[in-house]
Structure 1
Amino acid sequence: MIKLLRFLKPFAWSVAAVLVLVLLQSLADLYLPTLMSDIVDIGIVNGDNQYVLRIGGLMLLFAAGSALCMITASFLSSRVATGLGRNLRSMVFSRVESYSLHEFDQLGTASLITRTTNDITQIQQVLVVMMRMMVSAPMMSIGGIIMAVSKDAVLSLVFVVVLPVLAGTILLIFRKGVPLFKAMQVNLDKLNRVVREGLTGIRVVRAFNRLDHERERFLAANSDLTGTAIKVNKLMAVLMPVMMLVMNLSTIAIVWFGGIRVDHGDMQVGDMMAFLQYAMQIMFSLIMISFMFIMLPRAEASAVRINEVLDIVPEIKDAEKVKHAAGQRGFVEFKNVTFSYPGAEQPAISNISFTAGPGEVTAIIGGTGSGKSTLINLIPRFYDIDRGSILIDGVDVREMSQAGLRAKIGLVPQNAVLFTGTIADNIRYGKEDAADEEVRRAAETAQATEFITGMKDGFDSVIAQGGTNVSGGQKQRLAIARALVRRPEIYVFDDALSALDYKTDARLRAALRKETADAAVLIVAQRVSTVMGADRIIVMEEGKIAGIGSHRELLDTCEVYREIVFSQLSGEEIA
């Protein structure tokens, strides 16, 4: 929690103002019982009504000043806490955006969402309480004790018994509460994950009649969270009755022993009344401290999780001295590239070497798990390689800025992702300032114009969350249009034509030939018909290159390619 307080620097003046206002409020509240004591011991005892009115007016003035300080401090503390929450959310989101795919896998999407929302909200709430109470509560407690002792030192011995009991109770509950609050946040992550999977995969769940199974998963996760929350609340529920019991017993003790001292003439009635007020202030300040201790464990657990996000140093970052390509535009070269996923026993790809130049189509084909998509994901540097080098226009991708590298690439992923918004907005995701004509041309090349114009609002038609109101083939064509509108130097199609029928596939490939004539094109595909017209075909098997060449060359030289071809095409088609 303390580590996060460094982000309060932009709000330093507001925090200082809150602390000063709370200090003034505390001083005013501490002075009020003394004024009341004077009214009783001097004004009422002597029958001096003018003194009573004068001191009473002074009490009203101090009370009004205390209220004004409290209102202003509450307003400023709320602004500071909200501002810190806003900044933390921005920092967490920015840091997550810089993560490699490995870091995403390490923390999990559901957990990152919880940390960005719920955990930061916990920090906000506790910060408001802390700024108002971290000065007020200790000062009221210590100041109350000093003022009470000044009224009657002997009667103050009551606190010698009371305060250790309260402090011990608070510390015991705090120690037991911290692990439970941490477990509660983990259970919340689990619940979010189950809900997210159930909602995003609702079609699969219904298709396989697994509604009852998903309901059971949800109930189990919900029960875990509920059970932990009940344990925490039971623990915290003990605190308030204990505090009230001790406070009431203290009141009885003060009245009892104070009455005896008044009767013996060792204490005045007004002083006993003031002493009782100071005792109440001390007790209430300890209750305020206990509230802080109730909120702090959960905030501490949340702060640890937020710091974990901020402290992770992304594996993939820009080099200290960024190089800029000066050679041929759109030239890709792999030199003895080997890559392993974190924790894997064997490399996903080994000793991969090939080149892909502008104006050439390089196709990659192979069986499932042969490393095709892995190879493609290394080009935009989603992962860093173990050995070898990947050169773009003669510069190692690790020596280029990530933004500069990815600006050269138009990627169409295996699973087309669309965003909530219009069709035009989704296409412009590839180029924010694309003109309407560029958007239409990209859609036409991607063979998407026909279904777009068939929709009610054309290019202004709204895409639902996750693209659920368009088919798989339509998603792929919009994703292709998004890459085309960018006009990059390198096009990367990761099995991006798999959802298209053969007729649309053929028309799209013919249109792409014209549109991408000056760029390097890399296509990952399962269909032989998609790759057989490529300038260069790379055949992958078990993470290694089994053969490189044209369709005809590979039919003669590569057994793996022949098996793929014979499994998909008839003898007439091969001929």
Structure 2
Amino acid sequence: MEKEKASGNIVDLTILKRLFVFAKPYIGVFYFLVFLTIALSIAGPLRPMLIQKAIDNNVAQGDYPGLVNMIMLLIGLLIFQAIVQYLHTFYSGWLGQNIIKDIRIKLYRHIQSLKLSFFDKTPIGRLVTRNISDIETLAEVFSTGIAGIIADIMQLLVILGFMIWMDWSLTLVSLSLLPILLLATYIFKEKVKVAFNEVRAAVSNLNSFVQEHITGMNIVQIFNSEQREFEKFKEINKEHRKANIRSVLYYATYFPVAEVIQAAGIGLIVWYGGGQLVQGQVEFGMLIAFILYLQMFFRPIRMIADRFNTLQMGIVSSNRILDLLDNDSHIQNNGDFKPDHVNGDVKFENVSFAYVKDDYVLKDISFEAKAGETIALVGATGAGKSSVINLLSRFYEINKGGIYVDGRDIRDYDVANLRNHIAVVLQDVFLFSDSIFNNITLKNPNISREKVREAAEMVGALPFIEKLPGGFDYNVQERGATLSVGQRQLISFVRAMVYDPKIIVLDEATSSVDTETEELIQSAIQKMMHGRTSIVIAHRLSTIQNAKQILVLDKGEIVERGNHDELIEKDGYYAQLHQMQYKEVAKAV
């Protein structure tokens, strides 16, 4: 498993600008939040000033009716602040959830469009982290991060304005320790940026490892590798723990430092303001107001640091999400040819292909299959057979040459339209944890239950499906774990047939089933191939003796071609392979 490393420097403003593009559909709510933020930043700092007025103008003067009026005003202000706070919290959360819904949809659609070569090189667990954990973290950017930071900064400015307006000398004394707090906050911010970068990388590595090893648990247990893999897990988990502890350490250091600085600031106000009070230069209410203002002033600074951590986690996650969205490893769907029907003529003309640059797995491959004909591919593992069928459906792009369907380059076709005319049945059948019916139709509303039943009956899958509890509604569990290999294969045949394709691509899979099931599968294959252009990867030569043309591949090149009888007469690679399988059958008998 490839480990993901923590990314380096992050250009916060650049990422934030790109994220705000997703807020455009909700710009009205965003402006409403700005209004609520302004209202909150003013409502809070008004309270100490009103308390100062109540003490100096009403309590000190014995003005009881005036004090009652001031108390009522304070209560009204608190109610107003509570309502605005409720609306601010709700709509900031609403905005965040709607934005991440849009981002998750865009990201998932983007992942669907990527080439299979991308998935060959990218751990699935990492993609799961991007689509789930990273986007959940990103939600905090919009719901509490940015909105909270803006509200705190505005409140700081309003408080500072009130303090200077009320008494500039007390303001200078009370904020004399502010540079120390700002320095501590800056150091904390920089340290946490690195720590959370490491945390997200550790989470991604952990997700990738767990996903891969749970999926491959049968291999782990077959080779008695539980302890070795457990030791690897412990090491990755240890890195995850270390990264989180580092971030906790910075929290544990910063907040006590901030509290001490705030307490020292209040001490300075009491010392200096008390002297001013004794000399009659300030009133008691003013001193109380400044103590309240200082508490209110230091709290947003501490909150900004905390919210910055939330924002920084979101920035790290955003960086990873945007990197994935920027990945352009997708099939170029520039074709606009969308025929309703194709005859099924397939032609490969001097096709060369490499998964890795210049390391060609197919070299100058040429062949042609007329509508309704069967072409068989034979060769050792790694000869390039699967690459041929992957290219036809444009799962990968060719490097040289051309592939044509009905005389038209497949790059001229709309990708979705091209694939609608081609059914690919692989040896390794993948079934989702869902009903048989949904696994066959893939929830396509245009495919009726009657059509599914007809297709199942045609390929011989109906008898075993009807015996299952619930029939077509039977849940096959993850990867079809409750079905046999042969049953999964038959369901994949039905899945192909309901789309009524004109071209069938078969990675023939009978090597892992019993004789009775093999006969059933072979019968299903013959029915599927009838009247359709078929390209078959042959594992057992007995199944392709009636093929119009057999291509023998070796190291990416066609070394022999012809029908069964012609190749036997050549006494070459195919004849040797046929003789070898014949001997194996004889021994088995």
- TM-score (structure 2 length as normaliser): 0.93
The aligned counterpart of 2:501 is: 488
Instruction: List per-residue Cα deviations over 1:366-392 (Å, max 9, x = no partner).
Output: 001000101110011001010101111
Instruction: List per-residue Cα deviations over 1:428-464 (Å, max 9, x = no partner).
Output: 2396433333322322333323332332332222111
Say which SS state the counterpart of residue 463 (structure 1) adopts: coil
CA apart distance, 1:188: 1.2
Does 45-54 or 308-317 show the bigger shift? 308-317
For the Cα contact (< 8 Å) 1:476–1:499, is it kept in 2? no
The aligned counterpart of 2:414 is: 401
Instruction: List per-residue Cα deviations over 1:349-371 (Å, max 9, x = no partner).
Output: 11000011221111111001000
Distance between the aligned counterparts of 1:519 and 1:34, measured in 2? 85
Q: Taking structure 1 as reference, are residues 434 and 550 closer, same or farther at Cα in structure 2, changes over 3 Å only?
A: same
Is residue 389 of structure 2 the alignment partner of residue 386 of structure 1? no
Distance between the aligned counterparts of 1:247 and 1:430, measured in 2? 61
Q: Taking structure 1 as reference, are residues 265 and 197 closer, same or farther at Cα in structure 2, changes over 3 Å only?
A: same
Distance between the aligned counterparts of 1:129 and 1:505, measured in 2? 60
The aligned counterpart of 1:84 is: 99
The aligned counterpart of 1:335 is: 349
Letter in structure 2 aligned against 1:220: E
CA apart distance, 1:130: 2.8
The aligned counterpart of 1:25 is: 40
Residues 126-275 of structure 1: pairs in structure 2 closer than 5 A: 126-275=141-290
Instruction: List per-residue Cα deviations over 1:236-270 (Å, max 9, x = no partner).
Output: 22121111111111111111111011112221111
Letter in structure 2 aligned against 1:557: K
CA apart distance, 1:40: 1.0
CA apart distance, 1:115: 0.7
Letter in structure 1 aligned against 2:64: N
Q: Taking structure 1 as reference, are residues 166 and 571 closer, same or farther at Cα in structure 2, changes over 3 Å only?
A: closer
For the Cα contact (< 8 Å) 2:348–2:404, is it kept in 1? yes
The aligned counterpart of 1:443 is: 456
Stretches of structure 1 lacking an aligned partner (at least 5 in a row): none
Is residue 307 of structure 2 the alignment partner of residue 292 of structure 1? yes
Candidates 473, 479, 497, aligned match of 2:492: 479
Residues 32-181 of structure 1: pairs in structure 2 closer than 5 A: 32-181=47-196
Q: Taking structure 1 as reference, are residues 558 and 227 closer, same or farther at Cα in structure 2, changes over 3 Å only?
A: farther
CA apart distance, 1:331: 1.1
Q: Taking structure 1 as reference, are residues 457 and 394 closer, same or farther at Cα in structure 2, changes over 3 Å only?
A: same
Letter in structure 2 aligned against 1:479: S
RMSD: 2.0
Is residue 562 of structure 2 the alignment partner of residue 552 of structure 1? no
Does 41-50 or 516-525 show the bigger shift? 516-525
Distance between the aligned counterparts of 1:491 and 1:324, measured in 2? 19
The aligned counterpart of 2:9 is: none
For the Cα contact (< 8 Å) 2:427–2:509, is it kept in 1? yes
Distance between the aligned counterparts of 2:202 and 2:268, measured in 1? 45
For the Cα contact (< 8 Å) 1:505–1:530, is it kept in 2? no
Instruction: List per-residue Cα deviations over 1:22-54 (Å, max 9, x = no partner).
Output: 211221111111111111111111111111111
The aligned counterpart of 1:428 is: 441
Q: Taking structure 1 as reference, are residues 511 and 51 closer, same or farther at Cα in structure 2, changes over 3 Å only?
A: closer
Stretches of structure 2 lacking an aligned partner (at least 5 in a row): 1-14
Letter in structure 1 aligned against 2:336: V
Letter in structure 1 aligned against 2:346: V
CA apart distance, 1:11: 1.4
The aligned counterpart of 1:305 is: 320
The aligned counterpart of 2:428 is: 415
CA apart distance, 1:511: 4.3
Distance between the aligned counterparts of 1:78 and 1:127, measured in 2? 7
Give the number of aligned pairs.
Answer: 571
The aligned counterpart of 1:349 is: 362
CA apart distance, 1:325: 5.2
Is residue 294 of structure 2 the alignment partner of residue 279 of structure 1? yes
For the Cα contact (< 8 Å) 2:140–2:311, is it kept in 1? no
Instruction: List per-residue Cα deviations over 1:201-239 (Å, max 9, x = no partner).
Output: 222222222222232222222111111111111112212
Identical residues among aligned pairs (%): 29
Letter in structure 1 aligned against 2:416: A
The aligned counterpart of 2:529 is: 516
- TM-score (structure 1 length as normaliser): 0.95
Distance between the aligned counterparts of 2:342 and 2:477, measured in 1? 41
Distance between the aligned counterparts of 1:228 and 1:326, measured in 2? 56
Instruction: List per-residue Cα deviations over 1:180-211 (Å, max 9, x = no partner).
Output: 22222221122112211222222222222222
Letter in structure 2 aligned against 1:414: Q
Letter in structure 2 aligned against 1:68: I
Candidates 574, 581, 586, aligned match of 1:561: 574
Distance between the aligned counterparts of 1:544 and 1:431, measured in 2? 39
Distance between the aligned counterparts of 1:237 and 1:508, measured in 2? 65
CA apart distance, 1:10: 1.4
CA apart distance, 1:558: 6.0
Instruction: List per-residue Cα deviations over 1:282-318 (Å, max 9, x = no partner).
Output: 1011112111222122111100011012111243121
CA apart distance, 1:572: 10
The aligned counterpart of 2:6 is: none
Does 221-230 or 125-134 show the bigger shift? 125-134
Distance between the aligned counterparts of 2:218 and 2:37, measured in 1? 56
Distance between the aligned counterparts of 1:389 and 1:322, measured in 2? 18
For the Cα contact (< 8 Å) 2:174–2:268, is it kept in 1? no
Distance between the aligned counterparts of 2:478 and 2:424, measured in 1? 21
Letter in structure 2 aligned against 1:372: K
